[in-house]
Structure 1
Amino acid sequence: MSRRAVPPPSASEPIVAESDRFRHDLIRALGHEPRAPVLLAVSGGPDSMAMLTLAAAAMPGGIAVASVDHRLRPEAAAEAAMVADHCAAIGVPHATLAPHAAITGASIQAAARTARYGLLAGHARAIGAEALATAHHVDDQAETCLMRAARGSGLSGLAGVRPRAVIDDVVVVRPVLEWRRAELRAIVRRLEIPFVDDPANHDPAHDRTRFRRLLDANEWLGPPQLARAAAALGDADGDVRAIVDWLWGERASVNGVGVRVRVAGLPRELTRRLARRAIGHVIAAADLSAPKWSEAANVEALLDALAAGKRATQAGVVAAATGEEWRFRPAPARRTG
């Protein structure tokens, strides 16, 4: 009895199991089957090019791609063009986005991130995308967790990158958040997908590069374990947020631009979050533009003052303690002349 030779697998076959895994992870992050196109943020690096490859195999006709040229490096335009050429070759819509004004500031990376998400969210809305997907992975999560721990971040910061978030009113998902960097790079190498290595990823001037080197040099730190810890902290942070939402409904009273919050018997973490929410509400209601305010701002001095029955001002909002109630309102305008 003769035996028929089995032909070797084609280049596309090794991606089947991985694309199925990707689709499962995307649906889990999104919460349901995609009902509209998903916009992929693709820089041209191996991680995002692997995500593009997986998504194209898992969701043919269901994705679009955008690349951001921050105009901070002369090579960025060629990198975006490489992504555009590859997308044209595989039949995926692509757009290159660029900021209208130069990116400046004390932290160029932070300013670039803000600009990037603003551009991507705007394009997602313009094309009717259901969500924006980024290629954050296990190793990114571990680096973020270590960086924020070194900065003394609280629960929300240590939770790191979330599988699902809302940025600029657009749902952002991270479908490869449980994949290793090496897995993603192996996909693009095996399938000979073009990619570029951003030199900024190797520049020791950046905090992330230094923490990446620390992880690479110390295997015992274990990126998967750090990522799991960040995920557990993310779950805990979500529970605390739900408690704060309930407390806000039960204990906060809003009167125009003013807010009153009953804080009796609450632990410091909950009063911290309620104070931040109250400050944010006053700023939005009174349309205060300065000083700059962030939900991650340090409010410890304000909490100490209120706990001692004193007044304190932060971000243009004055807070005062009256018995078991804290009151927040816009700070009076300073007299000049």
Structure 2
Amino acid sequence: MAASDRVRPVCETQADALLALLTPFRRLALAVSGGPDSTALLLLVAAWRARRTAPPHIHVLTLDHGLRPEAAGEARAVAALSDRLGLPCRILTSTLPKPSANRQASARELRRELLVAACAELGAEALVLAHHQDDQAETLLLRLARGSGVYGLAAMPAQGLWHDGKGACVTVLRPLLTVSKASLVATCSAAGEAYAEDPSNEDAAYARTRIRQLMPALAGEGLDGATLAATAARLASAAAAIDDQVDAALASGAVRHPAGPVRLRVETLSALPRETMLRLLARLLAEVGGEAYPPRLVRLEGLVERLAASERVQATLSGVVARRRDGEIVFWREPGRTGLASLELAGPGRGLFDRRFLLEVERNGPYRVVPLGRLSEHGIDRKAVGDWPWQSFAGAPLLLGPADAAYCPGLAGEAPVGVRLVPITRRESLWQPELGTNPFGRREI
């Protein structure tokens, strides 16, 4: 691609193709900081919405984090531009004290929490972010420097899920991952719109800034943003191929209980290459245990060795109990020393229980999800669990609805009309195991 092509503004046809990612959603939120990337996103989405016969409701969210004196003015400028484009805007603020260290990381976490909470309050089905091709390239290089494997090097997905740790969650969309920053700047310039520049983006104290400053030299060697982003896309395809193998193994060798526990045949593990096996176990730990991040490779390998060493053994990792008996391993959520936090919804909306179950409610509540705890406390006979370990249901989700109605997936009651409580399965991870010997098998991989 010629340099002149890379700096052209995003045209209408290109924008329609990029923003097709947004079409399934009826209520959207845009995260706009006022910089060139998100300003271009705002301009493109507003024009795209105007071309649609049945446009979605779109709300702009901007953040005055108070970390820079200019932040308040930049937020007001975003609100003014949104108003001119006919879109409502909300300025988010925080009363938390300013972080004394890791300011960029702290600002990102604060931004995420405020955006997720605002989306929940507005009823937004998805949050649209302005991450672009250059961001993707920088992410790839940062993770390469950390020794990440194929899942980390796949960088940012076009669609994911954010949560605030308190039960609120929202789908996140990144429609601009194939668009260069230069094209987004050109889009703003073509529209005659000004934008803000954050000086911290040039601060060499931050690793991302140092990587960004290396980009011109890397481009001279053929490692430009487009090439690096394309490499991340290829690695994402490789990660998806491994996950397809994991899906097939789980479909043939695992049984999932609707309330959370999973049983897996040992022979299923023994037939897998080590990398696929470790990915399968990491995914099960995430799905069953609800941890935000997978365990370190050395700890996961330690779990594998313990489970492979004996035909009757029990171990715990990442909040999950793994018990091997009679040729199978049963995984269940350990309630933990501090217990599991409940989830409450007063009306229509959705939320996460323990990062494991998605609660979607279409009607007024109140609805509350709590850990099941002792079966007898809720009138559930141990015979109801069949041949599953009864202890494996202590951390199962119990939905308490109006008129004291109680429902636990696969164990008790029925879900009220207009209410869904479904498990979350995860494919994404920032972790990649190394190749090596599979102790469940008899061959070298």
TM-score normalised to structure 1 length: 0.79
Structure 1: runs of 5+ lacking an equivalent: 1-13, 285-292
Deviates more, 1:85-94 or 1:235-244: 235-244
Q: 1:258 to 1:184 in 2, by over 3 A?
A: closer
CA-to-aligned-CA distance 1:229-264 (integer Å, 9 cap, x gap): 111211222333343334334333467776543322
The residue type equivalent to 1:56 in the other structure is A
The residue type equivalent to 1:315 in the other structure is S
- Give distance in 1, aligned partners of 2:229 and 2:296: 25
Q: Which runs of 4+ in 1 moved over 6 A?
A: none
How far has the Cα of 1:95 moved from its partner?
0.7
Q: How does 1:108-257 map onto structure 2 within 5 Å? A: 108-168=103-163, 169-219=169-219, 220=221, 221-253=223-255
Contact residue 276 and residue 299 of structure 1 kept, 8 A: no
CA-to-aligned-CA distance 1:33-52 (integer Å, 9 cap, x gap): 35524321110101111111
Q: 1:269 to 1:295 in 2, by over 3 A?
A: farther
Structure 2: runs of 5+ lacking an equivalent: 1-7, 164-168, 338-445
Contact residue 39 and residue 124 of structure 1 kept, 8 A: yes
* Structure number having the greater strand percentage: 2
The residue type equivalent to 1:248 in the other structure is L
CA-to-aligned-CA distance 1:67-110 (integer Å, 9 cap, x gap): 12233333222211111122223322111113454475974434
- Give distance in 2, aligned partners of 1:101 and 1:332: 29
Contact residue 286 and residue 294 of structure 2 kept, 8 A: no
RMSD of the TM alignment (CA)?
3.0
Corresponding residue of 1:7: none
- Give distance in 2, aligned partners of 1:21 and 1:199: 30
- Give distance in 1, aligned partners of 2:118 and 2:84: 22
Contact residue 139 and residue 181 of structure 1 kept, 8 A: yes
- Give distance in 2, aligned partners of 1:118 and 1:211: 26
Corresponding residue of 1:295: 293
TM-score normalised to structure 2 length: 0.61
- Give distance in 2, aligned partners of 1:36 and 1:328: 38
- The reply on whether 1:57 has 2:47 as its aligned counterpart is yes
Corresponding residue of 1:4: none
Contact residue 137 and residue 229 of structure 2 kept, 8 A: yes
Count of matched residue pairs: 308
Q: Which one of the candidate residues 59, 69, 91 is aligned to 1:74?
A: 69
- The reply on whether 1:279 has 2:285 as its aligned counterpart is yes
Identity of aligned residues (%): 37
- Give distance in 2, aligned partners of 1:260 and 1:130: 33
Q: 1:101 to 1:215 in 2, by over 3 A?
A: same
Q: 1:259 to 1:303 in 2, by over 3 A?
A: farther
CA-to-aligned-CA distance 1:187-233 (integer Å, 9 cap, x gap): 22233212111111111111110111111233221210110111121
